[in-house]
Structure 1
């Protein structure tokens, strides 16, 4: 409204809204490749905002409505654009404004999109969301035309590398969601009176749960095929969901599984109420019967299946469902919880970081001021609001039990200095709970933790909180970013990739950016992590050419929780030296569509450099020439993986090793299981010769499980 929008349901607010988003010399589609220097939060008070053209999103933007009285963005009868909110605008040349795999750190929350006044024959979508990691759509309502022949869509996704979406509802329209992307986790979606709830054009791996599909013709349409007639949807896992008064729950492109592993589908704990066909194949073939009454699908699968000893077969039918530990469930469903909004609290219940003396200017040492603000908020039972900015810290920040912390436009806590630069004596940047375990609860949302310059001993987040059922702790949209941003001193100028230089003994010390990204210690338990992207930068986001860099961060996410009770929902860990995920001596861990990329520079140097093995932190052992693990599980039980994308795209920064059908591949092994009980639904790998290694034996190979660009194993249990 500061830019002239009225929200009165009459005035055309298109121009005013676009002025608000673009103000401040920000990064617009087609005008810059990416940036970390101009984030924005665009706030919509209650009201109905009439638009006649697209609202064009800019890079690193949060569009947030009033959660207590959600604003409506409504297309009028003159609306002629393809999208109401355009999250990645196409240019006149037909190219996206930003590369689909490079759109990070953008959100839309607490918004109603209404196209009921737009001509029903016009193909229009509520939002175009062709994005990648650390992005979010949440708490949105899509009201679409229900007129005969409607062409309206709610969410349209064409490509990218997502991502996480939750808490959306759709009514009317031809498709609630028309989506295609490498991978996504989507939960708590409701579709009512939509012709096709979800129309999936392609994917590598996709995880849906908490779906409610009511009064629809088709629930999930997975029938898209390649030019060769193979399934274009490599894999989907769907669980803890309901279909009611719907003709066909799922329609697939696969009649029977074959040597081609595409079209993998896993259903678990799915309820049917008056559904004619549960799963339909090509030409109307019924693969799984529906019911005129009520029916529960315990577990059903189609795709390739492996035994622990490496025997491969194909399955299309009922399977034994996972045994779910009680620590991970509410009733029969997996526990889930959305990011707290604190919408019912008055302003008096917030402590504001800058009002307490922290500057967030990226230069001042904010350690003492930010620590004091954290302790003040926790002691008084208030929420700490950390204003947008960069908060430089030179000592560990301690976050006590009872803390509630939320960021504005993803502020950054940035470690700096010698305190964090001793590889032999690592120190946490943010220590949540006292070392050795602290009983209680912590809620932390919408922030970054990063490093500046050489920080070879920095553990960015150390989690020690012991939480009990009914008071689970959580991190929502809390991201780690090591290097690749302005002010990090880990950019092109310092850490340009050098694939032509053989690295065998030492690396550039100034480019050793972190010891470990996240450590869930043995004492911790009851941790819910949702949409957390743990990223060691592979390129400089603020370089006009997005030039690749080589930054060394030793370890990704280490989970050692002895008691367990850990949920990793829509998480991604990328480009660390020794491993991305490492689960050791733990139990009861849920992983929903984890996304992994190994280091682009390996094996030059290999996983032996620059971090020597440190047994205090459960490091794996490597031989000369080996690459780091994507996922490693050791001496653990009840590890439940509901979708995993494990990618090795580069070998010494050369991408051609991951070309489809390339028999050389980028690395030999990526997923290691040792003396553990693990169940995996829909494992997808890229650029890796052996997909699973168990107790030293290679179980599955890429060539036996090709599913287009990826290789897929639908079901593996150790």
Structure 2
């Protein structure tokens, strides 16, 4: 849970004030500040109407999922009300028997809900609003007014069809809204729609607050849907999707259709708060702004925008990475000119492997009236292809980089402060800069490898094996170790896909996932370690082991939509240990696979057991009297990618040690749960980390030792809130086998990012945050000296590292090389955060 910065608070308040002034009467929002323009302000005239041929669709086969390509085609076509093709009728998720359970919900609770079972017609005629909202809310779930809960997960399924909607669809906590990927269902706003957003995933309440604080909205997805505003009058201010969210959330495989008339007031996606996160595989048509977005950080990948006035309007950011964005036939591509009260709203932006075509202004930044912060609008643009773009980059005083009527490429262009081997820094720069040298293993053909989450839409239901049908209970009590191990091996041998039905699967010894496995979760099932096998820090054991040391390490897997957790004292638990070496041309993939330690029902690591103790000096283990509570020492390590592993792609994976109790009744009260290590990578690569986050571990969040060929796109960390009480030497002792850092001095906090003797480590955006000193947030506030911790990013030994757009919070020394502090926060103040556009070491 991250506090909002002054930048975000002012920007959000002002934007909402302007929006509410013109919003339909059905929306009630109370905001006090009115200091900037409405996000729906008029832009240049819209672009020509797209032809039907611009809807390009591809299908995959075998284990490869269909997904958006470089032209951002989607993995299914928008469904009509009479479509009866196999793609529309044979999706396995609709056909399979649903056995999922929610152990802490009431009797008879349904996890899987088909909206047709609640009366939705999807015929393009009847109003389905009430039926869809009933499918979401049924069963005493956590809706607006509930502070949060993991007890009532739900997967809301939309069969193909056109669902007419006359007022907002209101999302609930811990909810997945999923359509048929082979034949995308359409949510279509009626001409008389009443409300501000077609799909509202975090509804504003009468007092003006969001239903849930945006930085506490986790574990939700929206996928495989078309949101259609084209039937609403162009002059009506309306948004397709309201998405103030944070980690472990995703939007994917969606189409947004809006008016393309000159001066229309439609938007596709609106984000005003949060701490993301990942969004990918989206296509937008029309709108005043296809996307109008602000958040602490996000990775957005594979986004295609056609015929909007402004493709992307950035409201604010600390750090943001755009990868594989395609902008076609708009007036403005990226608009980074947001400012409030003379302060620039946009902090750091990284754009890579993208294209802008037939758009007069590619990128615009700055504001003539803005006077601060001194370091803001930090940019790195790498491998951005242009075609018929008159002005490639425009600054507050005019053209900064001219375009051309034909094709051209921005190899690399940057702005901000840099620290390089030839320049101690900070050196201010604006202009062309040498691009990263991309290892062929990471970027075959010159563009970084990426792959969308497999949905298996072309496979029949007979290809899936259910965990609960195979004998696993998933009830949070029964030992499911043997049943799951047998299932994983049976499925891999038969080339079947494992469906982990919704539930909580208790395991008392290691789960072994063999090469060849394909595993998909329903509504984020939990694999939960328990018992003495995982209790000894002196003898750590993997909860989930993917592959095994030796010959069994060869092969690949696909794994998605699952949480791995621990119950109670589990000081020896390594939640995921990854050994597999996949072929270079067919990497393994983890999508939406998260670790979660503490803070949820069934963990026995909640407020009742692990309340914070900021007023007691914590000196040693033993419990009571100021000692570390042994019952709250909950994990040895979250994830280990071993030296044997190779070719692993991870997308939207969050390794989280709970800083607060999520469940209703705890009111998000902070807790102290201990886990020793975050993500340890010893692999020689290639390794792709796309939209990943690691938070609240003792020694470090990300650590790379003897690694190479690593791509990271907008990583994000938080230091444990309790540190330095105890400091990074407790409760776990350093173990040389795991390359633990040794903290010689008292009062030190863990590293956000540590790189030791590693080559070709390429970081495209990093947010390393330290908000608290023993739960006191004052140390990270503007003007307080960034005193939460002294150091947060360490490069050691013979390491070759290049970082684009490093942002830190609460840390006085931003980068340390072989024990020498080389980047100081006071030289790089960007409002609430501290920013460096480029940092590199020679290795």
Partner of 1:650: 772
Partner of 1:661: 783
1:233 aligns with 2:346: yes
Partner of 1:72: 186
Give the one of 697, 700, 711 matched to 2:820. 697
Q: Output the CA distance in 1 between the equivalents of 2:681 and 2:391.
A: 41
Give the one of 703, 714, 722 matched to 1:601. 722
Q: Output the CA distance in 1 between the equivalents of 2:783 and 2:489.
A: 55
Task: For residue 260 of structure 1, report the CA deviation from its aligned partner.
Answer: 1.5
Q: Output the CA distance in 2 between the equivalents of 1:43 and 1:425.
A: 43
1:536 aligns with 2:657: yes
Give the one of 691, 694, 699 matched to 1:578. 699
Normalised to the residue count of structure 1, the TM-score between the two structures is 0.98
Partner of 1:129: 243
**Structure 1 residues 621-661: Cα deviation after superposition (integer angstroms, max 9, x where no partner):** 10221110000000001000000000000000111111112
Q: Secondary structure at the match of 1:327?
A: coil
Give the one of 339, 352, 358 matched to 2:472. 358
Task: For residue 40 of structure 1, report the CA deviation from its aligned partner.
Answer: 0.3
Question: Do the aligned partners of 1:492 and 1:543 also contact (CA within 8 Å) in 2?
Answer: no
Q: Output the CA distance in 1 between the equivalents of 2:343 and 2:151.
A: 43
**Structure 1 residues 146-177: Cα deviation after superposition (integer angstroms, max 9, x where no partner):** 12221000000011101100000001110110
Task: For residue 193 of structure 1, report the CA deviation from its aligned partner.
Answer: 0.4
Partner of 1:304: 417
* Aligned ranges 1:101-116 → 2 under 5 Å: 101-116=215-230
Question: Do the aligned partners of 2:373 and 2:831 also contact (CA within 8 Å) in 1?
Answer: no
Task: For residue 311 of structure 1, report the CA deviation from its aligned partner.
Answer: 2.3
Q: Output the CA distance in 2 between the equivalents of 1:446 and 1:257.
A: 45
Question: Do the aligned partners of 1:557 and 1:581 also contact (CA within 8 Å) in 2?
Answer: yes
Partner of 2:129: 14
Task: For residue 257 of structure 1, report the CA deviation from its aligned partner.
Answer: 11
Question: Do the aligned partners of 2:277 and 2:297 also contact (CA within 8 Å) in 1?
Answer: yes
Q: Secondary structure at the match of 1:466?
A: coil
Q: Output the CA distance in 2 between the equivalents of 1:102 and 1:258.
A: 29
Task: For residue 258 of structure 1, report the CA deviation from its aligned partner.
Answer: 9.1
Partner of 2:87: none
Give the one of 695, 715, 718 matched to 2:838. 715
1:402 aligns with 2:523: no
Q: Output the CA distance in 2 between the equivalents of 1:663 and 1:366.
A: 51
1:369 aligns with 2:369: no
Q: Secondary structure at the match of 2:359?
A: strand
Question: Do the aligned partners of 2:788 and 2:811 also contact (CA within 8 Å) in 1?
Answer: yes
* Aligned ranges 1:392-541 → 2 under 5 Å: 392-436=506-550, 438-506=553-621, 507-541=628-662
* Aligned ranges 1:540-559 → 2 under 5 Å: 540-544=661-665, 545-559=667-681
Normalised to the residue count of structure 2, the TM-score between the two structures is 0.84
Task: For residue 80 of structure 1, report the CA deviation from its aligned partner.
Answer: 2.5
The structure that is strand-richer by fraction is 1
Q: Output the CA distance in 1 between the equivalents of 2:380 and 2:829.
A: 18
Q: Output the CA distance in 2 between the equivalents of 1:96 and 1:130.
A: 9
1:243 aligns with 2:366: no
**Structure 1 residues 538-572: Cα deviation after superposition (integer angstroms, max 9, x where no partner):** 000015311100000000000001x2100110000
1:612 aligns with 2:733: yes
Task: For residue 92 of structure 1, report the CA deviation from its aligned partner.
Answer: 1.2
5+ residue gaps, structure 2, are 1-115, 622-627
Q: Secondary structure at the match of 2:559?
A: strand
Partner of 1:33: 147
Give the one of 688, 696, 704 matched to 2:811. 688
Q: Output the CA distance in 1 between the equivalents of 2:680 and 2:392.
A: 39
Task: For residue 119 of structure 1, report the CA deviation from its aligned partner.
Answer: 1.3
Partner of 1:150: 264
Q: Output the CA distance in 2 between the equivalents of 1:669 and 1:711.
A: 13
Partner of 2:756: 634
**Structure 1 residues 116-150: Cα deviation after superposition (integer angstroms, max 9, x where no partner):** 00111111111000011100000000010112221
Give the one of 314, 320, 337 matched to 2:428. 314
Q: Output the CA distance in 1 between the equivalents of 2:207 and 2:617.
A: 41
Q: Output the CA distance in 2 between the equivalents of 1:230 and 1:494.
A: 44
Partner of 2:156: 42
1:174 aligns with 2:288: yes
Question: Do the aligned partners of 1:258 and 1:314 also contact (CA within 8 Å) in 2?
Answer: no
Q: Output the CA distance in 2 between the equivalents of 1:346 and 1:134.
A: 28
Task: For residue 428 of structure 1, report the CA deviation from its aligned partner.
Answer: 0.2
Q: Which moved more, 1:307-316 or 1:408-417?
A: 307-316
Q: Which moved more, 1:141-150 or 1:354-363?
A: 141-150
Question: Do the aligned partners of 2:146 and 2:664 also contact (CA within 8 Å) in 1?
Answer: no
Q: Output the CA distance in 2 between the equivalents of 1:300 and 1:460.
A: 40
Task: For residue 434 of structure 1, report the CA deviation from its aligned partner.
Answer: 1.0
Give the one of 269, 272, 289 matched to 2:402. 289
Task: For residue 496 of structure 1, report the CA deviation from its aligned partner.
Answer: 0.3
Give the one of 677, 685, 692 matched to 2:800. 677
Task: For residue 231 of structure 1, report the CA deviation from its aligned partner.
Answer: 1.7
Question: Do the aligned partners of 1:257 and 1:315 also contact (CA within 8 Å) in 2?
Answer: no
**Structure 1 residues 467-502: Cα deviation after superposition (integer angstroms, max 9, x where no partner):** 112210010000000000001000111100001110
* Aligned ranges 1:138-217 → 2 under 5 Å: 138-217=252-331
Q: Output the CA distance in 2 between the equivalents of 1:690 and 1:90.
A: 39
**Structure 1 residues 43-96: Cα deviation after superposition (integer angstroms, max 9, x where no partner):** 000000000100000000000000110000000111131100001000111110
Q: Secondary structure at the match of 2:451?
A: coil
Give the one of 169, 176, 183 matched to 1:62. 176
Q: Secondary structure at the match of 2:462?
A: helix
Q: Which moved more, 1:638-647 or 1:698-707?
A: 698-707
Q: Secondary structure at the match of 2:465?
A: strand
Q: Output the CA distance in 1 between the equivalents of 2:764 and 2:139.
A: 42
Question: Do the aligned partners of 1:202 and 1:234 also contact (CA within 8 Å) in 2?
Answer: yes
Question: Do the aligned partners of 2:708 and 2:761 also contact (CA within 8 Å) in 1?
Answer: yes
Question: Do the aligned partners of 2:500 and 2:520 also contact (CA within 8 Å) in 1?
Answer: yes
Q: Output the CA distance in 2 between the equivalents of 1:432 and 1:288.
A: 48
Q: Secondary structure at the match of 1:422?
A: coil
The aligned length equals 714
Q: Output the CA distance in 1 between the equivalents of 2:686 and 2:692.
A: 16
Question: Do the aligned partners of 2:713 and 2:765 also contact (CA within 8 Å) in 1?
Answer: yes
Q: Secondary structure at the match of 2:391?
A: strand
Q: Secondary structure at the match of 2:183?
A: coil
**Structure 1 residues 511-551: Cα deviation after superposition (integer angstroms, max 9, x where no partner):** 00000000000110100000000000000001531110000
**Structure 1 residues 262-305: Cα deviation after superposition (integer angstroms, max 9, x where no partner):** 1101100010000011110114x111111111101110001111
Q: Secondary structure at the match of 1:356?
A: coil
Q: Output the CA distance in 1 between the equivalents of 2:651 and 2:296.
A: 19
Partner of 1:221: 335
5+ residue gaps, structure 1, are none
Give the one of 672, 686, 693 matched to 1:565. 686
Q: Which moved more, 1:76-85 or 1:634-643?
A: 76-85
Question: Do the aligned partners of 2:476 and 2:503 also contact (CA within 8 Å) in 1?
Answer: yes
Question: Do the aligned partners of 1:182 and 1:204 also contact (CA within 8 Å) in 2?
Answer: yes
